[in-house]
Amino acid sequence: MLATFAFLAVSQTVSLPPVMPVADVKAGQKGVCLTVFQGDQVEPFPFTVRGTMTNFLGPDRDVVLIRLEGEKAEFTGVVAGMSGSPCSIDGKLVGALAYSFSTFAKEPIAGITPIGDMLNVMKLKAQDRPWRLEGEPVRSTEWKAMRDGTTVAAKTNRTTELAPIATPLSISGAPQAVIDHFEPWLASNGFMAMAGGSAGKNTKAVPLVPGGAVAAILVRGAVNIAATGTVTSVEGNEVLAFGHPFFGAGAVSIPMANAFIVNTMASQQRSFKMAIPGATLGEVTQDRLTAIGGYMGGVPSMVPVTGAIATPQGPAKFDLEVARDIELTPRFVAMGIAAALGGRVDASERGTMRFNGTIDIEGMQPIVVKNVYSAQRDGSLMTSPAIDMAIAFASMWQTPFGPPPKMKLSIDAQLNPEPIEETIEDVSLGQQSIEAGKPVEIAVRLRRYNGPVTYEKFVVNVPRSWVGDEVDIIACGADLAERVSDEVSGDPRPNRLQDIAKALNARRTDGNLYLMAVRDGAGLRADVEVMPFIPPSAVATLSGDSNVQRRSRGLAWEERRSRPGTVSGGAITQLKVVAP
C-alpha cells in the first residue's frame, strides 16, 4: 500500500484584508495583484482597471476587466496558474484574477472575480461530501471520446471569449503517450496537461498565504496528478482560490497542498506555470462558479488502486490513490491506471494484454472486469483496459440510488509481446434442417491476424421445444454477443446498486468465441433478470410493472470457448427444426 502521508496543518496568522465592493471600482484605477513566478516567493505586479462587465457570470455576477502591467506581466501575459491571484486597490481586496483571452492575445487583459462572490462559497450549506446525488449518469459519448483520444466538444471558445484561465495539470509517473491520449479531454475541460515532478520525501510545508501557489491533488502515488492555482484569501482555517471552478462540481473532497513553482514559461500561445505539489495541508470542499474553497487541516479519504503487471521485462507493482469527486474521480481513475500500466511497459511494446480488474465493494460481492486487448485492434493497449475499468467503477460511483459504497480497485495484467487477434469468417452447419431431439454439428472458421485459419467445432443437441422454429445460429466475439443479447433480451434496468453489480458481472469478456442460438418466443425482462420463453399468460400477468419489458425473441442457447487472444467479427446462419 502507499506510504503514509503527513497531513501538515501549518499555523496561519493571515486574516482577510478590507474588501472593496465592485460598485467602488472605476475605470483607470491602479492596483496590485500577487502571485508566484518562481519558487514560493509571492511577488506583486501592477494593473489598471479597464471597466466592469456587469452580469457577466449571471445576474449580479460581475467581472472586473483589468490590464496587467509591470515587466514580468508584460513579458508573460496572463499565465495559466495565476487563477486566484488576489488583486487589490488602495489596500482593499477587489477579488481574484480568474479570466483571460487565452490564446495569442496581444494585450495582457484579464478578468477579476469579485471577492464578495467568492466569500459566499464558504457560506453555502454543508453537504455530505463528495456526493451530488443529482450527478449525471455515465455518458457513453464522453467515454467513447476519451477512449479514442478525442473530445466531444470544448466547453468554450477560448480564442475569442473571455474564459477561465487554464489550470496547469502537473502529471508525473505517466508516459508522454498517455498524457497525449487524454490531453483533448483535459483541454476541453480547462486543464493544461504537462509532464511534471512529484513531491519528494522531504517536502517543505509552506503556509498557504494570499498570492501563494496551491495545488489540488487528484492522483498520488505511483502516478501524481495535481492542478495548480493561486490562493486568494486565508481567514482562520478557510482558504479560497482560483476565482473560477474546476468543473463546478459543488461539494467535493480533494486533498489541498502547497506548491513550488519551478518556472513560469512565457509563450505567445499561452504562458504557464510549471509546478511541483508540496505537502498536503487540508481539503478542498467546494468547487463552485466563483471559487474553489476548503479548510486547513482536513484529512480527505481517497479511492485506493493497487496493481501488478507482468511484462517480458519482468513483473512490476504499483499503488495510487484518486481524489473523491462525483465527476472527476472516474476520469482520473482511467488516467491513473493507464499511466501506471504504461509507465511499466517499454514504449515500443506491442502485443496482447490480458487484464483482470476487481472492484471490491463494502457490503457487496466484488465486480470483476476481465478482458483481452490486442495492440492491432485496440490501438492504445494501456488506455483501453484502464477506461473499461473506470467505466465499471463509474457505473457504481454515479447512480440515482444514493451515495456509492466504499470501494477499492485492484488490477492484475499480463502482457504477451505477440499480438494475437482472430476474426470470425464463417459459421456452418452439418445440415441446415434437422429433426428435434437430434444433435447438429456446427463449425466456426477463424482467421488469425498474420496467421493460419482454424476451426472451432460444436455439437448442439436440438431441444424438442424448437420444433417448427427457424433458429438463428450466431458465432461472435464478446462485443457482438453483448449487442445480440441486449437486442433480444432488452437492456438492463437496475433498481438498486446490487442490480448494477450483477449486470456488470454478467457481461461477456473478450478472449472467447461465443456461439448463440436465437429464436422467436414470448418472454420478458424485469430489472436485470431475463425470463425468455414463458407462457404468454405469464407475460401478461407480469407486465404491469413499468420496469418490465416484453420480448418476442430470446436467447435459447449459448456456449463459449476460450481463445488465445482477441476475437472480432461475427457470422450467422439459420437452422430449421422439424418434427421427428
Once rounded to an integer, what is the mean pLDDT over residues 171-183?
A: 89
Residue type, 463: P
* Same domain assignment for residues 151 and 249: yes
Q: For residue 128, is it within any domain?
A: no
User: Per-residue pLDDT for 40 more than 70?
Assistant: yes
What CATH number is given to the structural domain containing 73? 2.40.10.10
Q: Which domain holds residue 537?
A: 421-578
CA–CA gap between residue 169 and residue 172 (Å, rounded): 10
One domain for residues 166 and 47: no
Grid cell at residue 314 = 519482468
**291 and 311 fall within a common domain:** no
Q: What is the mean pLDDT of residues 45-68?
A: 90
Domain count, the chain: 4
**Same domain, residue pair 151 and 292:** yes
Mark whether 200 and 333 lie in a shared domain.
no
Tell me, yes or no, whether 17 lies in a domain: no
Task: State whether 469 and 557 are in the same domain.
Answer: yes
Q: What is the pLDDT of residue 299?
A: 77
- Does residue 266 share a domain with residue 319? no
- Give the residue-averaged pLDDT of 74-86: 90
pLDDT per position as a tens digit, 313-349: 889 999 999 998 888 899 999 999 999 998 887 655 6
Residue 229 has pLDDT above 80, yes or no: yes
CA 473 to chain centre: 38
437 and 572 co-located in one domain: yes
Check residue 492 and give its pLDDT: 83
Q: Is 8 a residue whose pLDDT tops 60?
A: no
Taking CA atoms, 339 is separated from 136, 195, 197, 333, in Å, by 26, 12, 14, 10
Grid cell locating 541 = 400477468
The DSSP bridge partners found for residue 526 are 529, 548
Q: Which amino acid is at 231?
A: V
Cα(360)–Cα(404) distance, integer angstroms: 12
Instruction: Read off φ and ψ for residue 256, nearest 5 degrees.
Output: -115, 130
Position 133 confidence tier, pLDDT thresholds 50, 70, 90: very low
Report the share of the chain in percent with pLDDT over 90. Answer: 53
- Is residue 561 over pLDDT 90? yes
pLDDT at 75 (0 to 100):
87
Cell of 449: 491476424
Q: Give the pLDDT score at 4.
A: 34
C-alpha cell at 464: 424438442
Q: Are 252 and 290 in a shared domain?
A: yes
Residues 392 and 505 sit within 8 Å (Cβ to Cβ): no
- pLDDT tens per residue across span 277-325: 988 999 998 888 889 999 998 778 999 999 999 988 889 999 999 998 8
Q: What confidence tier does 203 reach under pLDDT thresholds 50, 70, 90?
A: low
Q: Give the residue, 145 or 454, on which the prediction is more confident.
A: 454
Distance of alpha carbon 525 from alpha carbon 495, whole angstroms: 13
Compare 368 and 536 and report the one with higher pLDDT: 368
> Please, is 233 exposed, middle or buried when counting C-beta atoms within 10 Å of its C-beta (0-12, 13-18, 19+)?
buried
Predicted local distance difference test score (pLDDT) of residue 76? 85
Cα separation, 556 vs 437, in Å, equals 15
In a domain, 6, yes or no: no
Pairing of the two strands 421-429 and 439-448: antiparallel
Span 96-117, pLDDT tens digits:
999 987 565 678 899 999 999 9
pLDDT beyond 80 at 196: no
Burial 465-487 (b: 16+ CB within 10 A, else e): ebeebebbbbbbbbebbbebbee
Same domain flag for 399 and 428: no
